[in-house]
Amino acid sequence: MALLEIKNLHAEIEGKEILKGINLTVNAGEVHAIMGPNGSGKSTLCHVLGGREGYEVTQGTITFDGHDLLEMETEERAIAGMLLGFQHPVEIPGVKNIYLLKEALNAKREAQGLDEVDTFTFMKQVRELVASMDMDDAFLHRGVNAGFSGGEKKRNEILQMLLLEPKLALLDETDSGLDIDALKVVSEGINRMRGEERGIILVTHYQRLLNYVEPDFVHVLYKGKIIKSGDKTLAHRLEAEGYQEILEEAS
Amino acid sequence: MTETQELEQLVQREYKYGFTTDIEQEIIPPGLDEDVVRMISAKKNEPEFMLDWRLSAFRHWQTMTEPEWAHVHYPKIDYQALSYYAAPKSQEELDADAPESLDEVDPKLLETYEKLGIPLHERAVLAGVKGANVAVDAVFDSVSVTTTFKDKLAEAGVIFCSFSEAVENHPELIKKYLGTVVPKGDNYFAALNSAVFSDGSFVYVPKGVKCPMELSTYFRINAKNTGQFERTLIIAEEGASVSYLEGCTAPQRDENQLHAAVVELVALDDAEIKYSTVQNWYPGDEEGKGGIYNFVTKRGDARGDRSKITWTQVEAGSAITWKYPSCILRGDDSVGEFYSVAVGNNYQQIDSGTKMIHLGKRTRSTIVSKGISAGRAENAYRGLVHIGKTATDARNFTQCDSLLIGDKCGAHTFPYVEAKNSTAQIEHEATTSKVSDDQMFYLRSRGLSEEDAMNMVVNGFCKDVFNELPMEFAVEAQALLAVSLEGSVG
Ligand SMILES: Nc1ncnc2c1ncn2[C@@H]1O[C@H](COP(=O)(O)OP(=O)(O)OP(=O)(O)O)[C@@H](O)[C@H]1O
Ligand SMILES: [Mg+2]
């Protein structure tokens, strides 16, 4: 059974159709890259998968790990093992990063019938993850994303992913705004998540992320549809030729 | 349903403390004249000077008109329709003194406080259940039910008792300090309070003593159609320090009820008073019916050099709140602080803030105000920073933040500054923000329920103020906020 199966997905926002019949299957163990010009609907797809209010799914189905995803609230999707890494992580002043991490982990544990994580184990785990992301412990005690630089926000998203160990990670342009070293750190984090039981979707504009995290599949999203899919060589082609030729080919 | 509508639904609160205690009460008939004032004074066995003081306040009040400048709206209050004294019968029979031991307290009252989660059993408290190291004065309608840990406090020289007891046992202190911070004719509601106040708490911390426990008073309005007029006086002598907290609740009733309290604080040289409030009077229902009118005058006099007064308040209840805890910074190098969280939901109206009156040299004040509005609530911050001619090198910092939940509520700020000394340094920062859909989606996508997500954002917004509350009450305040913003999802 596929981990994620999207069939003929149509979605609109404020009466405007953005997704126009998306089909996508992600199996456990696979890494998919979604590329496509600005405004083609990549973030919209992520938000619809995350269950954000305001988007109306007019047609199609989505199953995730055996669940009918469209019947689930955002937090239920998270608890079922989906993690959305945001293109623009929002600031939540006054809420300590460490507090959110703990609450998020406990929400998941509670759903699994586990006790709250004990503080000692938790701190030890978090400190290790923070170090692995080349972040300073001080980040844990700052407000969530508050005053973080663009790159710091993205590292923080990966940190959350590493802690929550989702079945499916949907990373929307996690590589944008990263310096060269940070790109490496983030990529290493993503590679650590890679595994038999997990699926990863990377939304990206650039080949450089895919040099570190080699995708099994690459899809081109254009005007709300996946117009071409292929293996990692498709990304190389895009990098070399740009979108024009592929768009013409597809139409 | 849009996220905004859902948020609004989410904040529909349920009031947990709306129950009524069915207890036989002595309530004097409605109406207010000199005889009523005399009657209250007589019930309390007050000395002549107190009666005179009340009467002169009453005569002054009669010449005054109700203020209308606040950003609140309510039908005219008929002061003749209210009753000015209500006491549980069982309490009334034990003379004017509060009962000596809990065995004398009506079990129904004990049960009431138990339901409210207020620890009145010293043994239980000492056993470390809830409220360890907190002494409590419990005021039920017009009278004090009991005060815990009096003996332990007395050993340290601290007097903590009901106001009535203080008038009886320490008249010299009352004579010396009563009305010296809030004069009896200060404003309409303060004058009314001065004439008819029934009970409240009295704290005296002698020279050099650090009060060994947190002190707290728990106010409960129970009777119908009565006003509650309590009066609190706290004195910290040279080098003394004390931390005091008040909590308040009332039953759910359709009629509005008036609560007009006066609090006076006096801090002498090097003394420190920390006064915290968790106010949770019944706010009225979703349609704006019922609820407490909370018209309160609170003022601290930092009379001595290097003295410090801190007001911390979490205002969650009441239909209307009209309240400006203030500091008169009279002593040189004295410090005044005001930390406030005010939450308004449904049809609640809040006009609150502070006044910092700088008179001494190098006086410093800090104001941090966090206003949260949901439903159709109107939340106004009104603050005055006055730097007098004599206050050289005075400094003030004001931070005033508003958080809106939904789009039918309002937030307003009225900061006034009067600087009569050019050496003053005054800083003011203000922000208005919304609990955004982005924030809610972000937190929910991490597995938090809608309620938890909202509480997290709101608590984050209030953090600077919660940090100022005594540890134990900070937890209570967070829980209160969660309840205030709690409701039916989806
Ligand atoms: N609230 C909205 N109302 C109307 N149109 C919207 C709304 N939100 C997004 N859109 C439109 O939907 C389209 C897809 O946007 P989306 O953010 O999904 O693109 P994207 O592929 O992620 O682009 P980028 O590469 O720039 O991140 C855009 O044309 C955008 O303007
Ligand atoms: Mg995007």
* pTM summary value: 0.81
At residue A74 the predicted structure's pLDDT band, cuts being 50, 70 and 90, is very high
* Residue B490: per-residue pLDDT: 23
Residue A241: left (phi > 0), alpha (psi -120 to 50), or beta? alpha
* ipTM exceeding cut-off 0.85 for this assembly: yes
Q: Which atom of ligand 1 is nearest to the CA of A221?
A: 21
C-alpha B359/C-alpha B382 separation (Å) is: 20
Q: Which helix (H) or strand (E) holds B241?
A: strand B241-249
What's the average model confidence in pLDDT over A208-228? 94
Nearest residue to B11 via CA among B490, B457, B488: B488
Query: A71 Cβ partners below 8 Å, 6+ apart?
Result: none
* Residue A3: per-residue pLDDT: 95
B482 in contact with chain A, both atoms CB, cutoff 8 A? no
Q: Which amino acid, residue B31?
A: G
Which of these ranges, A20-24, A241-245, B470-474, has the smallest mean pLDDT? B470-474
* Residue A248: per-residue pLDDT: 85
Are A74 and B444 within 8 A, CB to CB? Answer: yes
Neighbours of B110 (CB within 10 A): 18
What's the average model confidence in pLDDT over A34-56? 95
* Residue B85: per-residue pLDDT: 79
Kindly report the protein residue whose alpha carbon is nearest to atom 13 of ligand 1. A39
Distance B436 CA to ligand 2 centre (A): 19
How many contacts does A have with B, using Cβ atoms within 8 A?
A: 82
C-alpha A249/C-alpha B98 separation (Å) is: 92
* Residue B84: per-residue pLDDT: 82
More confident residue, A111 or B226: A111
State the smallest CA–CA distance between residue A37 and chain B in angstroms: 24
* Mutate which: B6, B431, B446, vs A, most A CBs within 10 A: B446
Distance A40 CA to ligand 1 centre (A): 7
User: In terms of DSSP bridges, do strands B308-315 and B335-344 run parallel, antiparallel, or are they unpaired?
Assistant: parallel
Are A92 and B443 within 8 A, CB to CB? Answer: yes
* Residue B15: per-residue pLDDT: 61
What's the average model confidence in pLDDT over A129-146? 91
Q: Which amino acid, residue A38?
A: N
Q: Per CATH, which fold does A4-250 belong to?
A: Rossmann fold (3.40.50)
Domains of chain A: which residue ranges? Answer: 4-250
Q: Which amino acid, residue A95?
A: V
Q: Which amino acid, residue B111?
A: E
Which ligand is closest in space to the CA of residue A222?
1
Instruction: Please write the tens of the pLDDT for every residue from B418-449.
Output: 999 999 999 999 988 888 889 999 999 999 99
Does residue A66 carry a pLDDT above 60? yes
C-alpha B336/C-alpha B333 separation (Å) is: 10
C-alpha A30/C-alpha A14 separation (Å) is: 34
pLDDT digits (tens), chain B, 490 positions: 444 555 455 444 466 666 666 666 677 778 889 999 999 999 888 999 999 999 999 999 999 998 887 777 878 888 888 888 777 665 555 444 445 566 666 666 667 667 666 666 654 444 333 344 566 677 666 566 666 677 888 889 999 888 988 999 999 999 999 999 999 989 999 999 999 998 888 999 999 999 988 888 877 666 666 777 889 999 999 999 999 988 766 556 566 778 889 999 999 999 999 999 887 777 677 776 777 788 889 999 999 999 999 999 888 777 788 889 999 999 999 999 999 988 877 777 878 889 999 999 999 999 999 998 887 778 888 899 999 999 999 999 999 999 888 777 888 888 899 999 999 999 999 988 888 889 999 999 999 998 889 889 988 898 888 888 777 677 767 766 666 655 322 2
Instruction: Please write the tens of the pLDDT for every residue from A149-179.
Output: 888 999 999 999 999 999 999 999 999 889 9
State the smallest CA–CA distance between residue A109 and chain B in angstroms: 10
C-alpha A46/C-alpha A38 separation (Å) is: 14
